[in-house]
Amino acid sequence: MSQIDSINNSGSGDEPVVPNVRKTSYWPVVKMILFVIVLAFIGRRAFQLWKLTPPKTIQINAWWLIPAALSYLIGWFPSIWFWRATLRRLQQPLDWWTAIRAYHIGQIGKYVPGKAMVLIIRGALTKSANVNPVLAGVTAAYESLVFMATGAMLGLALAPSALGPAFSKWLPLQRSWLHEQPLLWPLTIVVATFATTPFSSWLFTKLGRKVVPGQKSIGDTPPSISAGLISQGIVVMTIGWICHAFSLGFVLQSLSDAPFKMTLFPVWLASSSLSLVGGFVVLIAPGGFGVREGILIEALKDHPEIGPSTALIAAGLLRVVWFVTELVTAAVLFVAKPKTTISTD
């Protein structure tokens, strides 16, 4: 059969053959380019600060890094509690062992660009406890949002007094009122955060019911996430942020010969909170790499008891301590035998 006959026959009654053309997505390339630009900007800024005030000597007391790692690890237990509480309210009880294992192994997923791998891993690891993996992933997202909202609340509330010019210079408005009414700013931030809990409750509950439709109530309690639970989460997760702040304080102490000063705690809490939240918001940065360090350096460099060079070293050392803690914890829990008992408490 000739080529012309073949074309004519293909057009008589048969659908035309459409070549299978694979669509090319340029977004991963764009994200990588943006990430490299961000890293280059932060690296250039760090080099300028280092060149401006180079340290005479670098001494690290490694013993202080042990409590830094432990306090960072302990700081995630309030988040695990809230994750279990949201699942339980949606009639998906999850035992503590599975929750701890899934949560910490899922932490490694944040180093994948986009950070969605965290939710996928946590959801997949809850299947052994008869928990809907999709709902587990969705509630893990709830936990992340409430955790970051709590950190933003603490960081912004403390920043004017704890960080001083490092924060106030970024405000577009007149800053005199921050000194004249020092309590007005933190009270506004805290009230605004708790005021959003009814909307968050409605949204989280609606999404949860869509993921698992037709859920039956247990007793007289319908499956829902209340504003009270979210408020409890904010209060409890504040303890987690305090632990993370102490972790930063211990890292800074490992670089100093001066006595351990609790008076610097507001500085630790504000700077660690804002840097972690900033790294979370910038989705193109895996694990907030570079972004978190850049914000932390800017927050600490102007403090008279820290300075630019110590801020630079502390930011890098904190990244190492936290990453090693996450990696070791995830590895230990990964090889540990999971339990299958279901907790209803």
Segment 38-72, tens digit of pLDDT: 778 788 877 777 777 777 777 889 999 999 999 99
Three-state secondary structure call for residue 258? coil
Most confident of 57-61, 206-210, 271-275, 305-309: 271-275
SS (H, E, C) 292-304: HHHHHHHHHCCCC
**Residue 141 banded pLDDT, cuts 50, 70, 90:** very high
The total number of residues written for the chain in this structure: 345
d(CA 6, CA 286) in angstroms, rounded, equals 53
Most confident of 159-168, 210-219, 286-295: 286-295
Following CA atoms 192, 159, 296, 318 in sequence, which dihedral angle do they give, to the nearest 10 degrees?
-80
Sequence letter at residue 38: V
Average pLDDT in the 79-103 region?
Answer: 93
Lowest mean pLDDT of 169-173, 194-198, 289-293, 321-325, name the range. 169-173
Tokens 């035309």 label which residue? 16
E strand residue ranges, the chain: none
Residues in contact with 249: Cβ distance below 8 Å, sequence separation at least 6, in sequence order: 260, 264, 265, 268
Per-residue confidence (pLDDT) for residue 340, from 0 to 100? 53
Residue 317 has pLDDT above 80, yes or no: yes
Residues in contact with 257: Cβ distance below 8 Å, sequence separation at least 6, in sequence order: 59
Per-residue confidence (pLDDT) for residue 18, from 0 to 100? 47
Residues in contact with 186: Cβ distance below 8 Å, sequence separation at least 6, in sequence order: 157, 158
Segment 258-293, tens digit of pLDDT: 889 999 999 999 999 999 999 898 877 888 888 899
Question: For the whole model, what pTM was predicted?
Answer: 0.83
How is the chain split into domains, by residue range? 29-54+61-215+222-335
* 23 vs 329, residue with greater confidence: 329
Which tokens is 105 given?
A: 């192994």
Average pLDDT in the 103-123 region?
Answer: 89
**Residue 7 banded pLDDT, cuts 50, 70, 90:** very low
**Residue 22 banded pLDDT, cuts 50, 70, 90:** low
Sequence letter at residue 21: V
Residue 106 has pLDDT above 90, yes or no: yes
Contact 126, 114 (CB under 8 A): no
Residue 307 φ/ψ region, left for φ over 0, alpha for ψ in the -120 to 50 degree band, beta for the rest? left
Burial 188-220, CB ≥16 within 10 A → b, else e: ebeeebeeebeebbeebbebbbebeeebeeeee
Per-residue confidence (pLDDT) for residue 113, from 0 to 100? 76
**Residue 314 banded pLDDT, cuts 50, 70, 90:** very high
Most confident of 45-59, 142-156, 177-191: 142-156
Contact 321, 246 (CB under 8 A): no
* 29 vs 121, residue with greater confidence: 121
Residues in contact with 261: Cβ distance below 8 Å, sequence separation at least 6, in sequence order: 305
Following CA atoms 238, 42, 118, 226 in sequence, which dihedral angle do they give, to the nearest 10 degrees?
30
Per-residue confidence (pLDDT) for residue 339, from 0 to 100? 56
Residue 219 has pLDDT above 70, yes or no: no
